Amino acid sequence: MTRRFLLIPRLQIHNANAMSSPYTIGFPAMTAWLGGIHALQRYLHQHGLTDAELISVAVSCHRFDLQTYKGQGDFVHSIVGTANPLDKDGSRPAFVEEARCHLEVSLLVELQGYDTDEQERFEALVNQQLRRMKWAGGDVLGVADVKTYTVDEDDEQSVRKLLNRLMLGYVLIERRELLVQAMRDEGQDALDALLGYLKVMHRSGQDVENGKVTWSSQRKAPGWLVPIAVGFQGISELGQAANQRDSQTPHRFAESVVTLGEFKMPYRISNLDDVLWQCRVDTERNLYLCQTLSTSELIGD
């Protein structure tokens, strides 16, 4: 089966939001990337490309620079925070710390539904809009021209060529199945299961012959595992709140949904569905979730 993709290469972002959830600081949440893709799709629809659907996205990180500071004698790093806008008298207002980062990513977006005869106009509109947009709350410093590709997913070489365009970088995949397995087999709750895969165990061993002590460090599972924010769980009914940002849209309080992810080099990926993320809304359970296509097929909800 052939699939069509839009490659947004080398997107350089300044001051992106690194506070991906109330519990995690690091790579921006997947909700930020899918929100950006949704905003881009709305722009295309407003300019006549109403059939263009941007249905999923893969993110490859080439560079990541978390804004922290460690002074002489400090034991830990501190967040470099801002407090904008300033008060009317020019003083700094009280603020909630907001972690920021500079990063460079490439986005691989799966396309459906648009007329290939309008490819030139499609790419021109995307190139024009990309530089105006906010991505993960940050400003765009630069981006290379976008390009569309058609890939036969049954042709391994065709898939490999496309994934190689995400090098050098690390693509984010979902590892929710590890949490599900730990909760099912070990009887852990979700938080214990998450921390179990993130902690590093240091163990010592002593050589019987010479008495030499050596230390080793190990995690529960191999790979570059990280906690990632993948959506929101509504915790109140729809209604109106004082001073809400959009007075026309019902308001609801929500909590972040956090799970496990893993950064992998693209050459280690064989299935495109492992890296392509989609959003899904479950109104019955008040859930907005981002998940990869392969994970949703493997373990469902």
Q: Are 188 and 301 in contact (CB under 8 A)?
A: no
- Which H/E stretch holds residue 181? helix 176-185
Residues 127-142 pLDDT 10s: 989 988 999 989 999 9
Structure token pair of residue 173? 């995949």
Q: Does 260 score more than 60 pLDDT?
A: yes
Question: In the predicted model, what is the mean pLDDT of residues 138-162?
Answer: 89
The whole-angstrom separation of Cα 124 and Cα 266 is 27
Instruction: Give the mean model confidence (pLDDT) for residues 200-223.
Output: 88
Mean pLDDT of 94-121: 84
Q: What is the DSSP letter of 239?
A: B
Mean pLDDT of the chain: 87
- In terms of Cα–Cα distance, which of 112, 118, 123, 113 is closest to 148? 123
Are the C-beta atoms of 108 and 57 separated by less than 8 Å?
yes
Q: What is the H or E stretch that residue 257 is in?
A: strand 254-264
pLDDT of 169: 92
CA pair distance 27, 210, nearest whole angstrom: 45
153 contact partners, CB below 8 Å, separation of at least 6: 1, 2, 3, 159, 272
pLDDT of residue 283: 86
Residue 68: per-residue pLDDT: 87
The amino acid at 156: E
Are 119 and 148 in contact by the 8 Å Cβ rule? The answer is yes
* Widest distance between CA atoms in the chain: 78
Residue 250, preceding bond cis, omega within 30 degrees?
Answer: no
Q: What are phi and psi of 3, to 5 degrees?
A: -130, 150
Q: Would you state the pLDDT for residue 96? A: 64
- Indicate if the pLDDT at residue 75 is higher than 80: yes
Residue with tokens 């087999």, as numbered in its chain: 185
* pLDDT tens per residue across span 23-53: 888 899 999 999 999 999 999 999 988 888 8
Kind of pairing between the strands at 134-135 and 100-112? unpaired
Four-point Cα dihedral 158, 163, 166, 172, nearest 10:
160
**Residue 80 neighbours by CB distance under 10 Å:** 12
Nearest-angstrom CA–CA distance, 15 and 101: 5
pLDDT at 113 over 80: yes
* pTM beyond cutoff 0.75: yes
Please give the share of the chain, as a percent, with pLDDT higher than 70: 95
**Does residue 163 have a cis bond before it (omega within 30 degrees)?**
no
Calculate the alpha carbon distances from 17 to 33, 35, 254, 263 in Å: 11, 13, 18, 19
Look at residue 294 and give its three-state secondary structure: helix
